[in-house]
Chain A
Amino acid sequence: MKLVLKNGLVYDPLNQINGEKMDIIIKDGKIVEKTDKDSKTIDISGMIVMPGGVDIHAHIAGSEVNTGRLLRPEDHFKDVEVKSNITRSGVGRSIPSTFTTGYRYTRMGYTTVMNPSMPPLEARHTHEELNDIPIIDKGAYPLLGDWWFVLEYLKNGLVEDCAFHVAWMMAATKGYAIKLVNPGGPESWGFGRNVRDIDDTVPNFDITPREIIRGLCKVNKLLNLPHTIHLHTTNLGVPGNYRTTLKTMKCVEDLAYDKKPVMHITHVMFGAFKGKDWYTMSSGAEKISKYVNRHRHVTIDTAQVVFTDTTTMTADGPFQFGLYRLTGNKWVNHDVETETTGGIVPFRYKRKNYVHATQWSIGLELSLLIKSPWKVFLTTDHPNAAPFITYPRIIAWLMSKNAREKTMKKMNRLAVRKSLLPSIEREYSFYEIAIASRAGTAKALGLKQKGHLGIGADADIAVYNVNPKQVDPSKEYKSVIKAFKHAAYTIKNGEIVSQKGKIVKSNIGKTYWINVKFKSPPREITSDLKKKFKDYWTVEFDNYPVAENYLALSTPITVEAEI
């Protein structure tokens, strides 16, 4: 398909284009230089053009997400997606069914979403679900921070052997990045315990979270993976944990090189609590922001709370158990042999609750106090802090002090009094929104074809009907919400897939995964693996890897390792 988007106001931060009136020309799924005579032209005067949204962290598929769906029929009853002759029916809300997930991201102008927590043993399940999420491109991060092989190799200082096995795992699970969740915690949880500090020892394995984090950070560099390690910190959701988060950021300072990030810390809001207990709990966002402003080796995403009913789910089994004890809500735990665990608890964030209101504040403080949007990205850790459909509201809070103040009026008084937000004047520009929601995330993920509109980029594009020359987002933030809720046009792979919130075409999205090529002919890396396989897992070696033909549209990214 050939298409020209005419007269749009283009925000393309990776190419330093800030609201210029430009034409975007599309051919065969790519952005090209020259128009063909038979191109279809759409006039989008007065509208914003951005690269398609790139979500760096949203739980949209796999055993954990699906168990969340199973746990919560009441989440689906009131939010349904009726079938059309193009789309399949489904349900919402905080844990939407697969087809619905694809349509709803598409309507918001998002075209790439990374699924951050894939138990390797259940990777096949994750990919079967990703196949059923239409339109958007996807990838998944295998959970490797508690894998026995990683613990054993790193314990013995065998970083290269660890790297070979991690590379095998990326191919076997068709994974995209190394994910660590409270490293050492899930293994300890196997016997109902946890680690409380990055220098605690993991029972039975004689290794510390610090050693695991540093080890996998080195592995990440050896393998030359496009994304950094993707880390969920120790002590998540515990008052006083901002110290642990700072300690975690510091622990890889010396591993940084070329002024590039070497670590992505996800959903930092949950790791930015000051105080000794829930009564004295307060925001640690200022300290963390100060650190991130002074260093280049870390990127973060926020996990912005929105006051609503949602579902929490992480691979941090002990954290989820704590949340169950705190709330008394229903609780799912799912331990995965040799690798990881996971938990699910429904949760409602209430504006009148001091802790919840403070959490809301922390997310925005992080986004606003960290100066560079290339370092702090917009997420809700869907569905942990809120469902992804709330992004437009978050964009409004980022762009408008008025919007923030309006929410604070109805919030817990004490939380407002303690919040830094009333003193923060900063408001994001559309350019900065484009960084935090697409350019920055695509860059952090190392997705070279995404997050920009330069020649040769994938033609994944969002057109939003809001005119920055006429609308002042600070005052008219409701127009901003409306525009970002339903993109005027979403273009995926060069085709118009959604128009004013209506899906007009449903195509299949790609699944990215990492295929590592080694410099020296690779050692017989699987011999140790094969030997231990029967002892470690209850499935056969041959049945473990996910074959490429399991992926609806397999898109390997080949990287060359340093070894």
Chain B
Amino acid sequence: MGGVLDNTSTVCHGPSIISIHDVGISSCTLGQLRHRADLVIYWGSNPWDAHPRHLERYTNFTKGRFQDADWYGYVTRTNIHQTDKRLSRILKLTPGIKEEVLPKNESLPYKFFRKGRKMMVIDVRRTRSADMADYFLQVEPNKDYELIEAFRMLIKHEELEVNEVAGVPVEILEDIADALINCSLGVIFFGVGLTMSKGKHRNIDAAISLVRDLNQRTKFLIMPMRGHFNVTGSNTVSTWQTGYPFAVDFSQGYPRYNPGETSVVDILRRDETDAGLVIASDPVSNFPKEATSNLIKNPLIVIDPVETPTSVMADVVIPTTYVGIETEGTAYRMDHVPLPLKKVVNPPKGLPSDKEALEKILLEVRRMRKEMI
């Protein structure tokens, strides 16, 4: 057709992909971390809420070959937090006693200088995951880049000539830098808190470079915490078929890639489309307003098992089966491990899978264009 093919990374982890083009990445499958990681850092990501089973399956709360689960530490910490909360409630109710404000960014607990699993959360606010961590580092909003660059200097034993960076005293940063160097295998999981804060892919570039530098001293890995169901799969297939992970423009007869120009939001903003085909995603809820209005003013076809704000706006809706329930298929886990999805129940009669629907459309298109592929 000579159209443009894009996927949901264009609105979530696109910046991480662009960083990989720039600097590469030192990463792994999740089991590697389960077996070996003794320092796990969640940066701008909140696994407890966004990836509920992540901690117990892959990192701090699971036992690996070389690392133990840290349930005990977690229980202790939770008890302490509960007690703190109760205490502060009592204090509030007691007349005459002023509530004491907890100091922000305390020094690093002693645990970080010993062997064994440690969990650290770096975020702009205290999330549930931060409560569970051995240490929470609160960074001022949009100061991630400065913080990462500070760590990069510290691990090269360079002096920082300021008292604090991103709201964190330098003494604490020095201790953390030591912990980064002294672990046997460290990992940073980063989320949209980092990819979508100021600096975007420069943040990720810096984070990947930090990990790269750390590998001169110990073993360190980094992984994006990706959300959308099988968006990794879309990137993966797009890359092997076209060379590019998203935002692929076929209008010249070969794949072209230039995010910012060939990405769907930009094309819609420039009002260059004359029709849209949306498969199992919901641009109407996620795209900027002008992009959305240009998308829906032209013919719009939606292929989706569920009703979404996008499908409501469509001219044609092709309902399909649920992959992994009514149809088998493959999904790529966020660490690129491909998993088979099984069929559990029969789909309603006559309902095609997304693959079948697309194949039929393709067949018809090729027939019309007299192609023999």
A122 and B184 form a contact (CB under 8 A)? no
Chain A residue with Cβ nearest B212: A331
The smallest C-beta distance from B166 to any residue of chain A, in angstroms, reads 27
With A85-B371, A336-B28 already in contact, the answer to whether A124 and B218 are too (CB < 8 A) is no
Interface residues as binary, B11-36 with A (CB distance below 8 Å gives 1, 0 otherwise): 00000010011111111111110111
Interface residues as binary, A42-85 with B (CB distance below 8 Å gives 1, 0 otherwise): 00000000000000000001010111011111111000111101
A321 interface hit (Cβ, 8 Å)? yes
Pick the residue among B34, B212, B243, B339 that contacts A543 (CB under 8 A). Answer: B339
Binds A, one of B122-130, B251-259, B343-351: B251-259
Across the interface, which residues of A come within 8 angstroms of B29, CB to CB? 121, 334-337, 538
Pick the residue among A67, A69, A148, A337 that contacts B30 (CB under 8 A). Answer: A337
A71 and B215 form a contact (CB under 8 A)? no
B31 and A70 form a contact (CB under 8 A)? no
A89 and B340 form a contact (CB under 8 A)? no
Across the interface, which residues of A come within 8 angstroms of B105, CB to CB? none
A333 and B27 form a contact (CB under 8 A)? yes
The smallest C-beta distance from B282 to any residue of chain A, in angstroms, reads 25
Across the interface, which residues of A come within 8 angstroms of B330, CB to CB? 124, 128
What CA separation (Å) do A69 and B65 show in the bound complex? 33
A471 interface hit (Cβ, 8 Å)? no
Across the interface, which residues of A come within 8 angstroms of B218, CB to CB? 192
Total interface residues on B, CB under 8 Å, equals 57
Counting chain A CB atoms within 10 Å of each CB, the highest count among B184, B216, B218, B372 belongs to: B372
A326 interface hit (Cβ, 8 Å)? no
Total interface residues on A, CB under 8 Å, equals 65
A190 and B32 form a contact (CB under 8 A)? yes
Pick the residue among B32, B66, B212, B370 that contacts A204 (CB under 8 A). Answer: B66
B57 interface hit (Cβ, 8 Å)? yes
A129 interface hit (Cβ, 8 Å)? yes
A89 and B31 form a contact (CB under 8 A)? no
B236 and A66 form a contact (CB under 8 A)? yes
Chain A residue with Cβ nearest B214: A192
Across the interface, which residues of B come within 8 angstroms of A129, CB to CB? 240
B254 and A81 form a contact (CB under 8 A)? yes
Pick the residue among A96, A191, A331, A538 that contacts B185 (CB under 8 A). Answer: A191
Across the interface, which residues of B come within 8 angstroms of A82, CB to CB? 252-254
Across the interface, which residues of B come within 8 angstroms of A125, CB to CB? 236, 332, 336, 338
B239 interface hit (Cβ, 8 Å)? yes
List B residues 298-312 near A (Cβ within 8 Å).
Answer: none
Interface residues as binary, B55-77 with A (CB distance below 8 Å gives 1, 0 otherwise): 00110000001100000000000
Across the interface, which residues of B come within 8 angstroms of A224, CB to CB? none
A97 and B240 form a contact (CB under 8 A)? yes
What CA separation (Å) do A193 and B312 show in the bound complex? 56
A83 and B254 form a contact (CB under 8 A)? yes
Pick the residue among B24, B255, B338 that contacts A89 (CB under 8 A). Answer: B255
List A residues 407-423 near B (Cβ within 8 Å).
Answer: none
B241 interface hit (Cβ, 8 Å)? yes
Across the interface, which residues of A come within 8 angstroms of B339, CB to CB? 124, 539, 543
Interface residues as binary, A121-153 with B (CB distance below 8 Å gives 1, 0 otherwise): 110110011001000000000000000100000
B250 interface hit (Cβ, 8 Å)? yes
The smallest C-beta distance from A353 to any residue of chain B, in angstroms, reads 22
Interface set of B (CB-CB < 8 Å, partner A)? 17, 20-32, 34-36, 57-58, 65-66, 184-185, 212, 215-216, 218-219, 221, 235-237, 239-245, 250, 252-255, 257, 330, 332, 336-340, 369-373
Known contacts A97-B239, A129-B240; 13 further A-B pairs (Cβ under 8 A): A86-B371, A89-B255, A90-B255, A91-B244, A96-B243, A97-B241, A122-B336, A148-B65, A324-B24, A331-B26, A333-B215, A337-B29, A547-B340
Q: Across chains A and B, which 3 residue pairs bring their CB atoms closest together, nearest first?
A: A337-B31, A192-B219, A335-B28
Please, could you name 21 A-B residue pairs with CB atoms under 8 Å apart, sorted by A?
A69-B239, A70-B21, A72-B21, A75-B243, A76-B244, A80-B255, A86-B371, A86-B373, A90-B243, A91-B242, A99-B241, A331-B23, A331-B212, A332-B20, A333-B26, A334-B28, A335-B32, A336-B32, A338-B35, A536-B31, A539-B339
